[in-house]
A = this chain, B = another copy of it.
């Protein structure tokens, strides 16, 4: 009924007594408006999707927090999903989002080819890249300057006197990982050190267990680097534990620098020096960009790429050696 709709959406257009009568009926019947019906009419839902690489990583939990806050301020719900770095999963979720007619998608792409997103863009559902620079001007994106982050982390170690730094990396197809290495190399170059001063310890995952493995390999290196820079804090925590278990003292024998500055980095027994990413801000800004794009009726929207700056947080794990 039209009047009921008015009572809910434009109360001022209804006589107070009618309004009261309708509200009473609503209360009595326990009526709850159906979102499906509204959605059908409106053509899109009031839900924003967030697709991240790994919900087990507190970094992404923070991104989710920021996005959720911004979305709820705008009266939207958030659906948080996990691609687990699998392009297949990612494609599946994107399909789900299209069917749901979500009002927009925040996504940290797992598929480096960009094929999934290209396919998705046909649905005319706005999306914003998170923690990834836009390839063209056709997309909004919020990212952190990973090259600078890598430079910050390794620059800090180099200026503390380290001449050989291990880099515990992650899946090579992730942009973030490559950029951080690039920054690390540039920091070495700035200090007049050769690229060989960066000893890469490859890893195919970005979790604590992978960090433990990497730590074990680090211990086997001859000569052994005096410092290690990790592509994220989960790896760093794993490395820290492996070193501790082997009786290697941090930072006395080996200094450690992580990346992300998750809560657990500061909470480690030897608090981790880490390159802080403004995760919550990133989630919030991404959501805001998305809302802007989604609310845009007249095609006036201009895609924007926001690049945030990382920040070095020095803690005990990298105190000056020797």
Contacts and interface: CB of A to CB of B under 8 A. Distances in A.
A15 interface: no
Interface string A253-291: 000000000011011111100000000000000000000
A237 interface: yes
B264 A244 contact: no
A37 interface: yes
A314 interface: no
Interface stretch (A56-64, A136-144, A149-157): A56-64
A30 to B, nearest CB: 5
Interface stretch (A93-101, A163-171, A187-195): A93-101
A237 B267 contact: yes
A61 B64 CA distance: 12
A61 B68 contact: no
Interface stretch (A77-85, A108-116, A178-186): A77-85
Interface residues of A, number: 47
A322 interface: no
Contact of A40 (B37, B65, B100, B267): B37
Nearest to A56: B61
A34 interface: yes
A89 B58 CA distance: 22
A35 B241 contact: no
Contacts of A34: 40, 99, 101
Given A36-B37, A47-B79, 15 more contacts: A32-B95, A32-B99, A35-B99, A36-B36, A36-B39, A39-B39, A56-B58, A56-B61, A61-B61, A208-B267, A238-B267, A240-B269, A264-B264, A268-B268, A269-B269
Nearest to A32: B98
A10 interface: no
A241 B272 CA distance: 12
A123 interface: yes
A55 interface: yes
A74 to B, nearest CB: 13
A215 to B, nearest CB: 11
A318 to B, nearest CB: 15
A264 to B, nearest CB: 5
Contacts of A81: 77-78
Contacts of A82: 65, 68
A119 B241 CA distance: 48
A98 B123 CA distance: 28
